[in-house]
Amino acid sequence: MDKTKNEIITFKADSSLLEAMKGISNRSEFIRNAILSSLDGVCPLCKGTGILTPYQKSHLDKFLNDHSFEECEKCNELHLICSNRRKEAVGKREHTTDKKTLGDPHICSSGDKG
């Protein structure tokens, strides 16, 4: 039996949010899932703040010496490209949205196998 104690978190919602949530049978579960989904996509550097510390910015600048941002031709989203892998993978790029392969350290976000 799980003995961890659940905490209650409350927040204010304006009338438009309340109206949008009408009809959702289990609002707590919906909100939990929405929060967990949002946290899954948080920037690993700024942790969702949108601001880098001077040290984080310095590390990012060094990283970007060998990496760049490019727009995917299929989904138009920005993704990182490793300059070294670009040379190896010219003509081999495939678009992927499979979370298992996106997390694979041997595959760039555009599907490049390095």
3-state SS class at 55: helix
Res 41: pLDDT: 86
> What's residue 91's pLDDT?
52
**Six-digit token string for 83:** 């300059």
Q: What is the mean pLDDT of residues 24-32?
A: 93
* 73-107 pLDDT tens trace: 999 999 999 988 765 555 555 555 555 545 444 44
Mean per-residue pLDDT over the chain, rounded: 80
Answer yes or no: pTM beyond 0.85: no
